[in-house]
Each structure stands twice: as C-alpha cells, then as structure tokens.
Structure 1
Amino acid sequence: MDFTPTEEQAAARDLAARIFGDLSTPERLAAAGTGSDAETWKALCAAGLVAAVADTGLLGLVLLLEEQGRTTAQVPFAASCVYGLLAVSAHGSPEQRERLLPGIGDGTAVVCGAVFEPGGVRADAAGRLSGVVPVVPWLRDATHVLVADDRRRLWLVRTADARCAPVELTAPWAAGRLTLEGTPGEPVGGTDAYDDVLATARTAFAGLQAGVCAGSLARAVEHTNTREQFGRPLAAKQGVQLRAADAYMDTEAIRVTAYEAAWRRDEGLAYATHALTAAWWASEAGQRVVHAGQHLHGGTGADLEHPVHRHFLWGRQLDAYLGCGSEVLQELGELIASGEEET
C-alpha cells in the first residue's frame, strides 16, 4: 500500500486548501447561517476540483474533503462527488455519463444522496418511486438526489419532481425531507451499485471527519499554547498534553483507515470491510476528538459562536450520519463472519 499522493492529487489538495482557507473564514461562515456558501462552491467548481475527482479517484476526493473539514466549509462537495460524479462514472450508462457528468463537474448540477437507510422508498414496474426519506443532507442545494429503494436499487430523481421541505440538523448541511409520490426515477447501475456507492460514501465522509477533527485539534493546540494560567501556557500541563495526544492519535486513525479504503477502491480491490472500519473510527473516535477540542478550550469552548464549536457540531453530525459506533461495528462483524468479501 502506498498512500503517497500523486502530483495531480497533491496539486488538487493544495488548491483546495487555498480556496477553503481564503473563503471559508469564521466570519463568512457565521454570515452564511445554516445555508450553503454559494461563493465557495462556485470557486471550487471554477477551479475544476469537482471534475478533477474523476481523475484523482476516491483517494483524491478524501484528500480534498480533509481540507473542507479543516474549515467546515458549507458546500455540498462530498455529496455531489460521491452520489453524483463517482456513482454515475462507475455505474451510469454511457448515455447517463455523457448527459450528467459535465453538469456535475461544473457545478450546475448538484447531487445528494438518500442511500444510508434503504427501505422507506418503493419503486413500481414503471420506475415511479413512492415513500418518504426524513432527512437528506444538502437536499436544499440539489438538482438531483440518488435514492435507494427497499430492494437496494439506485434511482436518480430530479428534485424538481419531488416534494422537498427544509430540515435543520446539528450541522448546517442544508438538509431536507424528501417526499416521493409516484415520482419518476431513472435507474443507475445494477445490483452491485448500491454496495459500492454506500462503501464509497462511508469512506469519503470518514475523510471529511478526519479534516473536521484535525481542524478542531489545531484550534485547541493554538489556544492552549497562547492561553496562560498561573504564568504558564495551558499546553505545559501534562493533562492537556495527554488529552491532545489522544485526540491526535484518534485523528490519525481516522485518516489512515479512510486512506486505505479509498486506495483499495481506486486499485479495484475489495474494500467494503475497510470502508466500515473507516466509518467506525470516524464515528467512534471522531466524537471523542471534537469533544476534546471543545473541552481543551475551557469556558471559551462553550461559546456557541466560537469557531471550535462548529467543529463540534460537524463531528457529532458526521457521527450520526455514519451510524453510531456499535451499529457500524456489528455490521462489520457480520460482513467478516459471512466471508462475502475477500480481504
């Protein structure tokens, strides 16, 4: 295994870091409220970073999402790349790829996903969908939504054909409630598409969590090095050092497991168990890290307007989105016991 970024991946990561760093400042994020940052999204698409994921692969996307997580930039980057660009590239028909990928790449089409909990949507023989998905992140920004039905088949639905009502989450992810009432959908891929898209999503959002945790820890390190108590920086205290060290090791575990799962997908290797491992670390360790980041700020961390609180909200939202640690661990154990995936 070699997780060293290629020149193209490193260049895309560095460009993303500059865009997120320049535009996703605490002041602009506060002004955006719970909505998305249209200027940052436009800049990312204009720089070709969404379209570049088709060439840099899932590992390249994970590197970009780390940079988004460091700043908690409010853009549908992960969703549109996972449920749109990568899903259509891997499982769409030639006609679908030709029709959909250019718009997804330049940002004029935004795709979100309702795939984590299949069962609430049914499809009839004519491909018309009915059912309700209570929460779909980034639905309010989307032109299309990738939906999994009760038989784990994937359908692409235009949001203009469905009913979408705003829903507020812990993190400002422009979410909505999706209601389908005989809504037309077009099938995407065959029977294996669902498992691949789900594993891709778990890996990508684990990468996003690695960035959220890294950003939270960086703020905690800066605070404890500059804040003094009894004439000494807080960072000089052994208890602070140990708490920060634990958070650093957790963050690295999230990062390396996400890298491994992404690398295996890009290499055409089985990676379902590795995606679940990354999701478990992102869920279980991620909430520990963002709690530590807020705790290390002391009373300042309790300020809802402090930037570290955004990392706390994002970390907890990602924990919920990926599934609590015990649920993910149970699924991982069942998959290993079944022997369905060769590792």
Structure 2
Amino acid sequence: MDFHPSEEQAAAAALAARIYRDLATHERLAAAGTGSDAELWKALTAAGLTSAVEEVGLLGLVLLLEEQGRTTAQVPYAATCAYGILPVAAHGSPEQRARLLPALGSGEAVATGAFPARRAFTATPEGRLTGTAPAVPWLREATHVLVPDRDRALWLVRTDAPGVATRPVETTAPWSAGRLTLTGAPAERLGGPDAHDAVLAAARTAFAGLQAGVCAGSLARAVEYTSTREQFGRPLSTNQGVMLRAADAYMDTEAIRVTAYEAAWRIDEGLPAREHALTAAWWASEAGKRVVHAGQHLHGGMGADLDHPVHRHFLWGRQLDAYLGCGSELLSELGALISEGEDA
C-alpha cells in the first residue's frame, strides 16, 4: 500500500488541523459540557470538510479524524461520516444520494449509527423497526440513525419519525449520547445484503483513526509536560522510566495508526478488508487503553486533576475502547473470520 496521502487528502487534513487548533480549545470544550460545539461544527461544514469525505475516501477520513482526536473536539463528525455520508454514497440509491448527501454535507442533517446492535432490532417487511439500543453516540444531535436489524439489513430512521423515542444517557466521554427506542418506527432500506459488513468495517476503521488521534494528542501533552516539569533539578523526561513509558506509548500509537491506514486503503481500493478492519479495531481498543493511561500517569499528580486537558484524552480513549469492543471480543470475531476463510 501507499502510505503517502494525496494532495487533496493532505490539504483537507491540514485545514481540519487549523480549524481544530483555533476553535477546539480547552476552555470551549469545557463550556460545551456533554453536547457538541455548534460553532465548531458550523466551521467544519462551511469549510467543506464534511462533504469532502466523498472525494478523499475512507483513508482521507481517517486522516481527518486523527486531527479531531488530537483535540478531542466535540462535534458529531466521525458519526456523520461513518454512518451517514460514506454508507449513503456507497450503498444508497440515486434518489437517496441526491436527497441525503447535500444535507449531510452541509451539516443540516446529522447521522449516527446504532452499532454494535447485537441483534437488538427487528424489521417488518414494510420497513417498521422495533427494538432498543442503550447508548448511541451523538444521538441527541442526530436527525438520522443507521440501524441494523437481526438479519443484518441496514435501515435509515429519522429521529423525528413516529415510533422513535430518545432519552439522554451519559457515557464515559461527552458524546451527546442517548438511548434509542423504536416501536414500529418507519425506516428506509439502505443497500443490499453486503452493505452491513462493509459499513461496519469502514466504521471500525474510522473510529480507529479517531483513537490514533486521541492517543497522539495524549502523548503530545505528556511529552510537553515531562519536558518542562523539573524534578531534582532536571526535566522529568530525562528519567529512563519516563522515556521508556513514552516510547511504549509512541509505538502503540503508531500501531493503531498504521493498521487503520492499511484497512482504510484496502477498503478504498475495493480489496477484502474485514480482517484488517478488525485488526485496526483491536489495536485501537487494546493499545489505546495503554496509551491514554500512560499519558495520564506521565502527568503525575496533575493527571489526577479531572479538569486537566489530558483527562479528556483519557475519557475519550476509554470510551473508544468500550465502543469498538473489548480486545477478546474482537479477537474472537477475527478468529472466526479467519477460520471461515480457511474452511472455504
């Protein structure tokens, strides 16, 4: 694979980094509480960084989500792209693409997904859905929810439709999450029988990219802190134990990044990628935990301050670990997938 981004991908990532750096400050994030930053979301959509995902592909999205993760910016960017723009662009009918993509690209519509569903929803032949998802990220901001049924078909549900009930829930990270309850809610089918696995693989890859950014941001804060904080007349960063812990965190972060890049590239190229997406998700889950714990630990007593910026990275990293699925679950699924391939 080619690890070098295209000019369009690099330009989009640089623009996103500048917007996040200017607007996703610690003070603004603290003021946002558990909701999204409306001004930041407007700036991203006005700059064309949401609609650009159609052009830059999944690898471009991973690069963009790295920049979001570095600042833990509270906007429904990952959810809208992973469960809205990319699925509709790849699996939607011409009518669905014409109707939904402009609204999603402009920020007028916000999408999220009821993943992992664990066979929680049933669908009638007429497209009426029933079931409950206990915690859906960014549901409080969403206009559309992508819902998989027990037969792994995908359905788009409007949050203002009859039979749809949402209730706020609090998760580890402030992701404006909510409980979704459908009672015979009307829905429209999205894609065919292969859409579910393709969308899930892309979403896992996208959120792994987000985790790579969260870890990179946590490590950057730890490096800055240990380089300026002195103990016994010298910076903490000169201590061997600190250097080794930071080095391990760096290697873990790079492992998350490279596996996410590989999975995204393969998906963009139309190559088989389910195993690669699961590998990226496993690294993001297992290594991500280690990195955000290390970032907080390297801050010493400051890392215990719930108001310190590094604590946000800790919360996001743990939430992404829970959202992607614990390591044993992902390894079990990966093993079953490999076994199926060997038996074929």
Does TM, scored on the shorter chain, surpass 0.5?
A: yes
Distance 2:313 2:235 in 1: 23
Aligned ranges 1:154-169 → 2 under 5 Å? 154-161=154-161, 162-169=164-171
Distance 1:187 1:237 in 2: 58
Secondary structure of 2:51's match?
A: helix
Q: CA deviation at 1:3?
A: 1.6
Q: Residue 239 of structure 2: which of 237, 240, 254 is its match?
A: 237
Aligned ranges 1:177-188 → 2 under 5 Å? 177-188=179-190
Match of 1:196 in 2: 198
2:23 corresponds to 1:20:
no
Distance 2:127 2:269 in 1: 33
Q: How many residues align?
A: 342
Are the equivalent residues in 2 in contact too, given 1:270–1:341 (CA < 8 A)?
no
Q: Residue 258 of structure 1: which of 253, 260, 272 is its match?
A: 260
Match of 1:144 in 2: 144
Are the equivalent residues in 1 in contact too, given 2:129–2:187 (CA < 8 A)?
yes
Deviation string, structure 1 residues 132-179 (Cα, Å, up to 9, x no partner): 111100000000000001111100000001111001100000000001
Match of 1:3 in 2: 3
Match of 1:317 in 2: 319
Give TM-score scaled by structure 1 length. Answer: 0.99
Match of 1:70 in 2: 70
Match of 1:47 in 2: 47
Match of 2:287 in 1: 285
Match of 1:131 in 2: 131
Structure 1: state its 5+ residue gaps.
Answer: none
AA paired with 1:196?
A: A
Aligned ranges 1:261-280 → 2 under 5 Å? 261-280=263-282
Q: CA deviation at 1:341?
A: 11
Deviation string, structure 1 residues 230-289 (Cα, Å, up to 9, x no partner): 001000000000000000000000000000000001111010000000000000000000
Secondary structure of 1:339's match?
A: helix
Match of 1:118 in 2: 118
Deviation string, structure 1 residues 55-82 (Cα, Å, up to 9, x no partner): 0000000000000000000001010001
Q: Which moved more, 1:11-20 or 1:328-337?
A: 328-337
Structure 2: state its 5+ residue gaps.
Answer: none
Match of 2:175 in 1: 173
AA paired with 2:121?
A: V
Q: Which moved more, 1:87-96 or 1:117-126?
A: 117-126
Distance 1:289 1:218 in 2: 11
Distance 2:118 2:291 in 1: 30
Match of 1:328 in 2: 330
Q: CA deviation at 1:116?
A: 1.6
Secondary structure of 2:237's match?
A: helix
Secondary structure of 2:52's match?
A: helix
Segments of 4+ moved more than 2 angstroms = none
Secondary structure of 2:97's match?
A: helix
Q: CA deviation at 1:126?
A: 1.0
Match of 2:225 in 1: 223
Distance 1:229 1:151 in 2: 59
Q: CA deviation at 1:117?
A: 2.3
Q: Which moved more, 1:57-66 or 1:120-129?
A: 120-129
Are the equivalent residues in 1 in contact too, given 2:115–2:136 (CA < 8 A)?
no
Deviation string, structure 1 residues 25-67 (Cα, Å, up to 9, x no partner): 0011011111111111000000000000000000000000000
Identical columns (%): 75
Secondary structure of 1:8's match?
A: helix
Distance 1:325 1:265 in 2: 22
Match of 1:299 in 2: 301
2:82 corresponds to 1:82:
yes
Distance 1:251 1:205 in 2: 14
Distance 1:109 1:96 in 2: 13
Match of 1:107 in 2: 107
Give TM-score scaled by structure 2 length. Answer: 0.98
2:33 corresponds to 1:30:
no
Distance 1:93 1:118 in 2: 26
Distance 1:217 1:341 in 2: 42
Distance 2:3 2:118 in 1: 33
Are the equivalent residues in 2 in contact too, given 1:335–1:341 (CA < 8 A)?
no
Distance 2:171 2:139 in 1: 12
Q: CA deviation at 1:125?
A: 1.5
AA paired with 1:176?
A: G
AA paired with 1:120?
A: A
Distance 1:70 1:197 in 2: 25
Are the equivalent residues in 2 in contact too, given 1:273–1:341 (CA < 8 A)?
no
Are the equivalent residues in 2 in contact too, given 1:118–1:152 (CA < 8 A)?
no
